[in-house]
């Protein structure tokens, strides 16, 4: 039976091309997917940067099954269930000191919207309601909702969507291949790019700026690492001007960079941190915002019977997501996964950097279990060469991801050295074959 694929309008997908040659995944286990032809596919991207403990892990599967039978849903407004508190407590303990409060959402995009709203409401609550401007960074990706695309810096995600994107500004991105190409780990050059925030303070005045949001490592615009000292400098400038620093850790959270969070890897603590993806190992949609205690406490004034923050989702802290989240954190802890990218990071770095010198490769970037292999664009067809390499890898039974002309790797944290080698060899073969 051939399935009718026409009704489903697929997200971020070239629908017409896909439906001519569909790639349908039907099963998953550990490091592997299987497709509808029964072919085994090694997962080099943890699904979509989310299945950090590998697929179909028994503890998580059992927790979801048991939770669905015990308590399927509990309203989160003026009501709750115990696992939401338990998960919030566990997340706060995993986070850098001071980020002791957790607001639950259902995705990375919702976490971003929530963090931006907390920033605005916080300044208002402490009597500085003129701080309404939100800042982001060029090439930033913060999901697809209006707040996120406004502070985001990807033109293709912004240009169609009209005038609601106002009230924001952007500092410049940190990508500098002329000085930093083929850096192993954090690039040496570019800490001074954080000073671009001073330019915006001079332009708008600090009294109008609520917050700046950045990804510690930008994933969706091609694996861009923070230069050494850059995040520290951004932190200092924010402190100097009373601007909240938001780290979007939707992809960097949960062990991706070798520590539970990139804030710990790079030694810089933000005021707010957005999470999603690895929070439930990708098994049930969930996001969260970690909030500094002092920010949270600012809201806890006024009459006790009043709602302190007019925000929330029907599925905030959903019981299935909380059960999955708790079992996920147990799995990470039992297997030491949140620091595994530190232990095996040397092998991963050597493997991805061995692609230097292969056809089309103009840069290789890495941190923890994140790799970016940038290809020269084929003239007149930006992104096509990398996409061809993706298709070639898929034919070889290896799933990678491309963004523009960058091949991005973010394997499950359970990956073994031989599997790292297999992914890199598949890319090498593909690069030697694509035009």
Q: What residues make contact with ligand PLP under the rule CB under 6 A?
A: 107-109, 112, 141-143, 215, 219-220, 248, 250-251, 276
Distance CA 289, CA 286 (A): 11
Please state, in angstroms and as integers, the Cα–Cα distance from residue 112 to each residue in 116, 141, 256, following that order: 6, 10, 19
Sign of CA dihedral 5, 9, 11, 13: positive
Nearest approach, Cβ of 250 to ligand PLP (angstroms)? Answer: 4
Q: Whose Cβ is closer to ligand PLP: residue 168's or residue 184's?
A: 168
Residue 402 corresponds to which tokens in the numbers above?
A: 């491309």
Q: Whose Cβ is closer to ligand PLP: residue 248's or residue 271's?
A: 248
Q: Whose Cβ is closer to ligand PLP: residue 143's or residue 190's?
A: 143
Residue whose entry in the numeric block shows the structure tokens 């950097």 = 353
Nearest approach, Cβ of 179 to ligand PLP (angstroms)? Answer: 24
Cβ neighbours of 12 (radius 10 Å): 8
Q: Whose Cβ is closer to ligand PLP: residue 201's or residue 278's?
A: 278
Nearest approach, Cβ of 220 to ligand PLP (angstroms)? Answer: 5
Helix, strand or coil, per DSSP, at residue 122: helix
Q: Whose Cβ is closer to ligand PLP: residue 251's or residue 434's?
A: 251
Nearest approach, Cβ of 311 to ligand PLP (angstroms)? Answer: 17
Nearest approach, Cβ of 151 to ligand PLP (angstroms)? Answer: 10
Q: Whose Cβ is closer to ligand PLP: residue 137's or residue 233's?
A: 137
Residue 221 corresponds to which tokens in the numbers above?
A: 């615009």
Nearest approach, Cβ of 145 to ligand PLP (angstroms)? Answer: 8
Bridge partners, residue 61, by sequence:
none
Q: Cα–chain-centroid distance for residue 11?
A: 17
Sign of CA dihedral 220, 222, 225, 230: negative
Q: Whose Cβ is closer to ligand PLP: residue 107's or residue 114's?
A: 107
Q: Do residues 83 and 294 touch, judged by C-beta distance below 8 A?
A: no
Query: What distance, in Å, lies between the first and last C-alpha atoms of the chain?
Result: 35
Nearest approach, Cβ of 112 to ligand PLP (angstroms)? Answer: 6
Complete DSSP assignment for 150-176: HH---HHHHTTSGGGG-SEEEE-----
Nearest approach, Cβ of 294 to ligand PLP (angstroms)? Answer: 24
Residue 71 corresponds to which tokens in the numbers above?
A: 């308590």
Q: Whose Cβ is closer to ligand PLP: residue 147's or residue 227's?
A: 147
Distance CA 180, CA 225 (A): 10
| Strand pairing category for 287-291 and 101-105 | antiparallel
* Burial class, 396, CB count within 10 angstroms (exposed 0-12 / middle 13-18 / buried 19+): middle
Nearest approach, Cβ of 110 to ligand PLP (angstroms)? Answer: 7
- The torsion region of residue 344 among left (phi > 0), alpha (psi -120 to 50) and beta comes to alpha
Alpha-carbon torsion, ordered 66, 69, 72, 74, to 10 deg:
-80
Q: Do residues 60 and 283 touch, judged by C-beta distance below 8 A?
A: yes
Strand segments, DSSP code E, in 163-311 are 168-171, 209-214, 244-248, 272-275, 287-291
Cβ neighbours of 377 (radius 10 Å): 16
Q: Whose Cβ is closer to ligand PLP: residue 285's or residue 319's?
A: 285
Distance CA 322, CA 289 (A): 14
Q: Whose Cβ is closer to ligand PLP: residue 273's or residue 426's?
A: 273
Q: Whose Cβ is closer to ligand PLP: residue 141's or residue 348's?
A: 141
Nearest approach, Cβ of 372 to ligand PLP (angstroms)? Answer: 13
* C-beta nearest to ligand PLP: residue: 108
Nearest approach, Cβ of 216 to ligand PLP (angstroms)? Answer: 9
């Amino acid at each position: 039976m051939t399935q009718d694929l026409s009704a489903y309008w697929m997200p971020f997908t070239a629908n017409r091309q896909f439906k001519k040659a569909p790639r349908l995944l039907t099963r998953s286990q550990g490091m592997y997917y299987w497709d509808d032809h029964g072919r085994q596919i090694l997962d080099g991207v943890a699904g979509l940067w989310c299945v950090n403990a590998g697929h179909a892990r028994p503890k998580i599967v059992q927790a979801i099954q048991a939770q669905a039978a015990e308590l399927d849903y509990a309203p989160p407004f003026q009501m709750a269930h115990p696992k939401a508190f338990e998960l919030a407590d566990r997340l706060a303990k995993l986070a850098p000191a001071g980020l002791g409060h957790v607001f639950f959402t259902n995705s990375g995009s919702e976490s971003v919207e929530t963090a931006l709203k907390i920033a605005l409401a916080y300044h208002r609550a402490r009597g500085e309601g003129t701080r309404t401007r939100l800042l982001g960074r060029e090439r930033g990706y913060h999901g697809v909702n209006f707040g996120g695309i406004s502070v985001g810096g990807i033109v293709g995600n912004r240009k169609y969507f009209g005038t609601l994107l106002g009230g924001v500004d952007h500092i410049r991105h940190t990508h500098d291949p002329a000085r930093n190409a083929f850096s192993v780990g954090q690039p040496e050059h570019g800490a001074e790019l954080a000073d671009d925030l001073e330019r915006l303070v001079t332009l708008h005045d600090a009294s109008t700026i609520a917050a700046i949001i950045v990804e510690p490592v930008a994933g969706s615009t091609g694996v861009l690492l923070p230069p050494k000292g850059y995040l520290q400098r951004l932190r200092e400038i924010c402190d100097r001007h009373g601007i909240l620093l938001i780290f979007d850790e939707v992809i960097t959270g949960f062990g991706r960079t070798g520590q539970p969070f990139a804030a710990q890897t790079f030694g810089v603590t933000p005021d707010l941190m957005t999470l999603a993806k690895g929070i439930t190992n990708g098994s049930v949609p969930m996001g969260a915002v970690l909030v500094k205690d002092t920010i949270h406490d600012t809201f806890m004034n006024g009459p006790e019977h009043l709602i302190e923050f007019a925000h929330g989702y029907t599925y905030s802290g959903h019981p299935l997501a909380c059960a999955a989240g708790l079992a996920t954190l147990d799995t990470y802890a039992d297997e030491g996964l949140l620091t595994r990218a530190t232990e095996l990071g040397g092998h991963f770095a050597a493997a991805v950097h061995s692609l230097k010198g292969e056809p089309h490769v103009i840069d290789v970037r890495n941190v923890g279990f994140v790799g970016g292999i940038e290809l020269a664009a084929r003239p007149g067809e930006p992104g096509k060469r990398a996409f061809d390499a993706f298709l070639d890898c898929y034919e070889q039974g290896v799933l990678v991801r491309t963004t523009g002309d960058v091949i991005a790797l973010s394997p499950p944290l359970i990956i073994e050295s031989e599997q790292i080698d297999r992914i890199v060899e598949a890319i090498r073969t593909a690069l030697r074959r694509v035009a």
